[in-house]
Amino acid sequence: MEPLRPGRMSVPGITEPKDLIVRARAGDTQAWGDLYREYAPAIFRFCRRAMPTREDAEDATMEIFMKLRDKLSQYDPSRSFTAWLYKVAANHCWDLLRRRRARHDKDMEDVEELPLETPEPNQLEKLIEERSSDEVRKALSTLGARARMALVMRYYSDMSYDEIADALGVRRPFVGVVLLRARHELRQALEGRGVLVAGGTQ
């Protein structure tokens, strides 16, 4: 079987372990174990990016797989398993963050009220060129919960705007704005200017 890729596992050309999924759905614990081993690293990394601490990410990963095992019978085999898996993971992480006041009113107010200044293209290019992946990850961890969650859903797990809207509980046309705001927050963090929104759980 071709090795699965975390994040964009649903891109064309990457095959999903259909056989494992079918056997796991039928109650084969060995198949479930194999399925877990295939997907656990990707889901852990998803949680690691989305959740504030490593401990939270570990707990969330465990909980997501417990949830998945219970919901496996509800999975529609005609659809992408990876997409379904990320949907469950995103919903779970967002639920956790929301419960910790991440989905705070202030978060929404900030997003809706603060003006967005279009960046100078050359400056933006320069900023992107100079920053390493490590710096981006660190900056990401300083963002508000919703901004972080939106970026992770879009750029890690390749979720569609509809799926993001569904997970975050926002209107579909608003997703682009959320993502753009998140990018602005990220740029500010990369420039060392702090972030606009303090809605995270840091």
Partner 1 sequence: MSEQDTTRHCDELTLMMYVERQLDREAAQEVSLHTQTCTRCLTLLRALDRESRLLTRSMLEQDEPLPARLAEFHEQAKRSMRWIWGIFFGLAALGVYAFYTEYIAGFQSQLEQAGFGSSNLLSLMVFQGAFYKGWLSMFTLVEFVALASVAALGVFAIRKYLRRGTALAVMFASLGLFAAFVTPAPASAAEFRKNDTVTVGKEETVKGDLYAMGDHVRIEGTVDGDLFGFGEQVEISGHVTGDLICFCQSLRISGQIDGNLRSMANNITLTGTIDRSATTFTELLTIEPNGKIGRNLTSFTKSLTLDGNLGRDLLTMIGKGTINGTIGGSLNAKGENLTINSSASIGGPAKFEGDNPANVSSEAKLASPLAYTKMEHKSHQRGPSFSVWTIIWAAAYVLFGLVLLSLLPSFSREASSNVENVGASFGLGVLVLFAVPIAAVIACVTVVGLFVGLATLFLWYGALYFAQIIVGATVGQWILGRVSDTWALIGRMVVGIILLRVAMAVPFLGIWIKFAVIVWGMGALSLAVYRRMQPTIAPNIPPVPLPGPTSPLPSNTTVGS
Contact positions vs partner 1 (CB under 8 A): 3-8, 11, 29, 32-33, 36-37, 40-42, 44-45, 48-49, 52-56, 58-59, 61-63, 65-67, 69-70, 92, 116, 118-119, 121-122, 124-125, 128-129, 131, 133-134, 136-137, 140, 151-152, 154-156, 161, 176-177, 179-180, 183, 186
Give the shortest CB-156-to-partner 1 separation in angstroms.
4
CB of 188 to partner 1, least distance (A): 13
Structure tokens at 143: 């963002």
Instruction: Indicate the residue among 15 and 78 with the shorter CB distance to partner 1.
Output: 15
Residue 34: how many CB atoms within 10 A of its CB?
A: 17
Residue type at 42? A
Residue 54 or residue 106: which is nearer to partner 1 going by CB? 54
144 with 185: CB under 8 angstroms? Answer: yes
Other CB atoms within 10 Å distance of the CB of residue 165: 17
Angle, CA 66 vertex, CA 62 and CA 68 arms, to 5°: 115
Contacts of 94 (CB under 8 A, 6+ apart): 103, 149, 167, 168
Q: How far is the CB of 5 from partner 1 (least distance, A)?
A: 5
Distance CA 31, CA 20 (A): 5
The CA R_g of the chain, rounded to the nearest whole Å, is 18
Minimal distance in Å, beta carbon 194 to partner 1? 19
Nearest to partner 1 of 41, 169 (CB atom): 41
CB of 94 to partner 1, least distance (A): 14
A 10 A CB-CB count for 196 gives 18
